[in-house]
Amino acid sequence: MTIGVIGVGRMGWPMAARVVEAGMEVVGTDARAEVVAKLPQIGVRTAESPKQVSEQASTTILMVMNAAQADEAIWGPDGFAEGATPDSVLVTMASLPATYVQQLAVKAAGLFSVVDCPVSGGVEGAEAGTLTLMVAGDPATVDRIEPVLAAVGSRVFRIGKTPGLGCVMKSINQAMFLSSLVTCAEMVLTGVKAGLDPDVVVEVVSKSSGDSWALRNRLPLVWRNDYVSGGALDLMVKDIGGALTLADELGVDSTVTKAAARIVQEGYDAHHGLGDDPLIIQTMEERNGVLLRPAS
């Protein structure tokens, strides 16, 4: 079985490597020629276009930045659709709008199958093969690609049969994560201003009722890793915005999440969308006149 990967960036690269390690042949491509040239380093055959990937692979992972890139990779010149057959499976693991994936599945009917499968766990999870996968699609098709899913993730949740539901789940997960990150930062900043050591705050709260993944795995990177996480800041704005759009469309009052989104946008604007998600907290440090640093 040959597996394709379209988009071998910070997430796609380690995911492709995990599939190779699982014993499958992998062919990959990316919009950046310099990235494609390095793929043999991890045992991945190179392809010049998404079309060449779909001509060789039975199942292809799509890991791009947004819907515009997805559309170009699938339907553009030399796109995936041009080389696909009705037996081809496209697994959309990127964070895409639910409506886009729903429409993609309809448009692809009879040409190729679509499995909606966004992931959570960041670059760390991609490298370790411990991603959480949120899968929506035809059950028989999902059964068929199970070995691929198992190669990149350790937790596979079948969300439903309709493509798009996985994206809904990923969207609300990201909104919860970012809202948690912002509230954690506010309170740790409060503790530091009051004289507490931030490492002590994280240790105590992580074993108490205020615990969260954001507190343990993102906030400390502010002072432990110089604001670097592998979670791209520009994606955070897109993700929380998508969740709020969905909430508005469904008539859900999302007052707290909207407040968090304003902080996320502020961090994005301050850093021109460059860098990683802990930079959201750097903006909060500057506003409050205190740095989150352990006592020396």
Q: Which residues, including other chains, have CB under 8 Å from residue 46's CB and lie 6 or more apart?
A: 27, 28, 29, 36, 37, 39, 40
Catalytic residues: 170
Helix pair 98-108, 165-193: axis angle to 10 deg: 160
Is 198 within 8 Å of 191 (Cβ atoms)? yes
What's the count of helices (H) and strands (E) in the chain, helices before strands? 16, 9
Distance of alpha carbon 104 from alpha carbon 17, whole angstroms: 27
Written as six digits, the tokens of 193 are: 């201003």
DSSP 87: T
Is 34 within 8 Å of 13 (Cβ atoms)? no
**DSSP string of 3-59, one letter each residue:** EEEE--STTHHHHHHHHHHTT-EEEEE-S-HHHHTTGGGGTPEE-SSHHHHHHH-SE
Is 46 within 8 Å of 40 (Cβ atoms)? yes
AA letter at 111: L
